[in-house]
Structure 1
Amino acid sequence: MEDGIGRLRLASEDLSTFLMIDEQFHTQDEEYFSTDHESTLTSPVHVIFQDHVVGSDKRMVQNDDTIELQLNNEDFVSQKHGKKVGREDFEIHKVIGKGAYGKVYLVRKISPPDAGTFYAMKVLKKASLVYKCKEQTQIEKNILVQLRHPYIVKLYYAFQTDSKVYLILDYVAGGELFTYLDNEKMLSEDIAAFFLAELALALDHLHSFGIIYRDLKPENIVLDRDGHVKLTDFGLSKVTIDGKSTTMCGTVEYMAPEIIKSLPYGPAVDWWSFGILAHDMILGATPFGSNNKKKTMDRICNERLKLPKFVSPDARDLLNKLLKKNPLERLGSLKLNDAKSGFASIKNHRFFRKIDWKKLENLQLTSPITPKIDSTNDTSCFNDAFTSLPPLESPPQGSPISESVDQLFAGFSYVNTSILDNK
């Protein structure tokens, strides 16, 4: 399914067989969490979301091992800066993605303080979300609110109308990594190492907040105008209580064995997907793909990784260690009392020996790929199938949702006050 800020996936149909919304697993989760299970993983922080705090800017308050994230109150922002932000503040220029539940547009802000700025506007229909993935949409918004990282797309506004919800995000004009992989077929190991290192920093940032991404793949990675990656689409991400989840979701070819087997899992599933992505970059294909999903899942769980002779010793070692079936043996897995495990084991691997991690984290390294972009509103890196569509928002269809259903979206609105304070 092609959609997104670079095909930013909007709960695409190809996941319908495998995506089971979290509510279906609450009983199973509670049963697991209520019993004593020994784990070699340290527990990440417990993230508590509050939809609004009257009279308070966004702030993070840390108490022991708990981080409490307090979101901007819409009324407070309006009181401080004069006006609530809504659909009328954005002018649509192009369609850049389309999915099962909505579209993504290139839009221009037409009101101050950031008038003239181009953003990506993700629009989702409430009526579809109520029965399909409303929880995922709230989770995506809440996750984007708390994240501040150079390799993760930033959320600027969130608001709603009677029939739709809107996320206003970075417009990342370089298009998706998938397009470059599709054109190049394979990347050199040095180029692959650069992009993988940027993505590893993004994943480590997510994991530090107790967030499991769960859907790493080329379609969810876009390049900015300087060729640096941005991780997008957090609709399938999971904020965990103690580092474990049981929900079966993700894209099949990138799905870890423990997810397929419905076992409790932690952040190590992202390092498996990272290994699949590394294989895709270096060899031009995923290692366990087949012509049907059932066979692919069987191969992921049971088939031994096979690599051609031309793969370098360092790349071979990286792939073999990332694609361990047992998550406790997987490179990147965090082990108690082992400072060399977790993200440190990724950074210190010889495959990344040429990477200056400090400079990379500070955006001080030059990307090996620079997209051809003429302007801030250039859409040439996106699929013509979308950009050729009329730049019009679809009108609401069917009967309006009830007041009780609309309450499910209470607290959705958000303004990134850095925009207001810095203008």
Structure 2
Amino acid sequence: QRALTVPEGCVVEAVALVEALIEYLEAEERGGEGGGGGELRPLELSDFTLLRLVGKGGYGKVFQVRCVLNDEIYAMKVVDKASVERYRSMANIAVELAVLRRYAEYRHPFILGLESAFQSAQKLHFVMEYVPGGMLFNHLRQQEMFSEKMARFYAAEVLLGLAHLHEMRIIYRDLKPENVLVCADGNVKLCDFGLAAIGLSAPASQPSASGKPVLVGTTEYMAPEVIRMAPCGQAVDVWSLGVLLYEMVTGEAPWFHKEQKELQKKITHTKVRLPSWLTNEARGLLRGLLTKDPALRFGVKPGSAECESDAAAIQAHPFFRALNWKLLVLKKLEPPLLPVLSENPLLDISHFDPKYTREAAVLSPPRKPISASAEKEFEALSLEYMSPETRDSVTRASLRSSASSGGAEALLRFSRKSTPRC
């Protein structure tokens, strides 16, 4: 949009250059002959190269992958359909997809987002941002415990992530250090919404493979109301935040027992023990977050029938007095820990368990065919999804590729016939 001064004798060359540029841009818009124009198709497994296995669970595996369409590195969670049917987890998958789609419209810096989702005959595929720093759990285990300053930073970012989920009427229900990922820049993101619930209240249990109800979550981080099988609200996430903070500043869980039943009794009946060497601010916050009655728990709105969380109250606690929340959400505070990564951090796997990364990056063979009724349920999921960011990235890469054989030829023709006088 600025006027150009063309040297005398160069007008012809300038006009030719402008015409060539116009032809190039038009080719980009068209996507080339038979190229990226029109509706972008959903992604599929053939669009990805499996690089390394970085995790494994009861339902499937997590891979570090490269998308061949835009050359970007992602993490891909691959879930076995037969396992979903066997463990009666179709509802969990449907909710996880709904949560990720709902969150995709309102992204947050401290929550891992869904980039793409699709399904094949035997598998479900969830493509997410690859976070090379691994789990906060591993960093905590290496250091045994964090200083209150370190714990304050991580607890604050987790709190903002939880608050964002709660604003969208999503109960996380699975907060633990294994589900907090450390990014290359040292900030953290919440991941794994397989146990999340949509709404202000949710049941404490879900059906198991045997048909018997099982409690939702990991026992060490379960709130007392979950163990009592009472309806659960956002207060369960407030409790889990307290357990996470306790674990970070002491190096151990607030309650422990080898037997699950005994552990559950301790959580519901035993008062939390707070080490004397913690600051008064830390002890006060932990005592409030780990209040057994959800209606009286600090960080829960007083008088809320559904025990909704009150993130603002937690943010205002003296424990967080030294924290600048505005700078934190903008990622302008220096993280207390930067993961040691290779020159290309997105290819780094050093912060993932070697027992997984040493395995071959291959999909597991299907355990057994899924039933016809289950197949109908999977089809009804309408799993195909691509985030706006990934769609733009793939589209731009496609346009660049197609334009290189379209409008770029015009630039090449111009460069060959133009003279160097200008």
The bucket for the TM-score relative to the shorter chain is: 0.7 to 0.9
Query: Does residue 226 of structure 2 align to residue 259 of structure 1?
Result: yes
Amino acid of the structure 2 residue aligned with 1:265: C
- Give 1:82 deviation, angstroms: 3.3
How far did 1:249 drift?
A: 0.7
Secondary structure of 2:128's counterpart equals: strand
> Displacement, 1:244?
4.5
Deviations 1:42-94 (A, max 9, x none): xxxxxxxxxxxxxxxxxxxxxxxxxxxxxxxxxxxx99533221000000000
State whether structure 2 residue 361 is matched by structure 1 residue 391.
yes
Which of 307, 331, 351 is residue 381 of structure 1 equivalent to? Answer: 351
How far off its partner does 1:384 sit?
Answer: 0.4
Aligned match of 1:328: 295
Could you tell me whether the CA contact under 8 Å between 1:178 and 1:218 is conserved in 2?
yes
The alignment-based identity, stated in percent, is 39
Asked if residue 110 in structure 1 is aligned to residue 77 in structure 2, the reply is no
Question: Corresponding residue for 2:23?
Answer: none
Find the partner of 1:204 among 163, 167, 174. Answer: 163
Structure with the largest fraction of helix: 2
Distance in 1 between the 2:276 and 2:57 partners?
Answer: 40
TM-fit CA distance, 1:106: 0.3
1:231 aligns with 2:190: yes
Select which of 172, 176, 181 maps to 1:222: 181
Query: What whole-Å deviation, never above 9, does each CA across 1:142-178 have from its counterpart, x for those lacking one?
Result: 2112221111111011000111100001100001000
The Cα of 1:404 is off from its aligned counterpart by 3.0
The alpha-carbon distance between structure 1 residues 413 and 257, as it changes in their structure 2 partners (threshold 3 A), is: same
2:19 corresponds to: none
The answer to whether the 8 A contact 1:159-1:412 is kept is yes
Structure 2 residue aligned with 1:401: 370
Which residue number corresponds to residue 65 of structure 1? Answer: none
Q: For residues 183-237 of structure 1, give each alpha carbon's deviation from its aligned partner in whole angstroms, at most 9, with x where no partner exists.
A: 1111000110000000000000011111111111111111000111110111001
Tell me whether 1:416 sits opposite 2:387 in the alignment.
Answer: yes
- Displacement of 1:362: 1.4
Q: What are the equivalent positions in structure 2 for 1:18-417 lying under 5 Å apart?
A: 80-111=38-69, 115-132=70-87, 133-147=89-103, 148-240=107-199, 242-247=200-205, 248-336=215-303, 342-374=310-342, 375=344, 376-398=346-368, 400-409=369-378, 410=380, 411-417=382-388
CA contact (8 A) 2:53 2:359 kept: yes
Give 1:334 shift. Answer: 1.6
Q: Which amino acid aligns with 1:173?
A: P
Secondary structure, aligned partner of 1:122: strand
Looking at structure 1, the residues matched to 163 and 97 of structure 2 have their Cα atoms a distance apart, in angstroms, of 19
**Comparing 192-201 with 141-150, which one deviates more in the overlay?**
141-150
Secondary structure at the counterpart of residue 75 of structure 2: strand
- Alpha-carbon distance in 1 for matches of 2:360, 2:204: 41
**How has the CA–CA distance of structure 1 residues 176 and 290 changed in structure 2, closer, same or farther, with 3 Å as cutoff?**
same
Residues 1:286 and 1:80: Cα distance change in structure 2 (over 3 Å): farther
Distance 1:79 1:116, change over 3 A: closer
Note the C-alpha offset of 1:345. Answer: 1.0
1:377 positional shift: 1.1
In structure 2, relative to structure 1, the CA distance for the partners of 1:336 and 1:420 (3 Å cut) is: same
Aligned length: 339
CA contact (8 A) 1:81 1:420 kept: no
**Structure 1 residue 312, shift from structure 2 partner:** 0.6
Deviations 1:285-343 (A, max 9, x none): 01111121111100000001111210110000000000001111111102359xxx811
Say what the alpha-carbon RMSD is for the aligned residues: 1.8
Moved over 4 A (4+): none
* SS in structure 2 of the partner of residue 269 of structure 1: helix
Code of the residue aligned with 2:374 in structure 1: it is: V
SS of the residue corresponding to residue 186 of structure 1 reads: coil
- Please say if residues 203 and 270 of structure 1, whose CA atoms lie closer than 8 Å, have aligned partners that are also in contact: yes
Query: What corresponds to 1:35 in structure 2?
Result: none
Q: Secondary structure at the match of 1:168?
A: strand
Q: Is the contact between residue 210 and residue 243 of structure 1 (CA under 8 Å) also seen in structure 2?
A: no
Which AA in structure 1 matches 2:297? R
CA contact (8 A) 1:92 1:392 kept: yes
Per-residue deviation at 1:354? 1.3
Higher RCO structure, 1 or 2 (CA under 8 Å, sep 6+):
2
TM-score where L is the length of structure 2: 0.77
Distance 1:397 1:316 in 2: 49
- Cα distance 1:117–1:284, how it changes in 2: closer, same or farther (>3 A)? same
Counterparts in 2 of 1:140 and 1:244: CA distance versus 1, 3 Å: closer
Bigger CA radius of gyration? 2
| Inter-partner Cα distance in structure 2 for 1:152 and 1:332 | 20
Gaps of 5+ in 2: 1-35, 206-214, 397-422
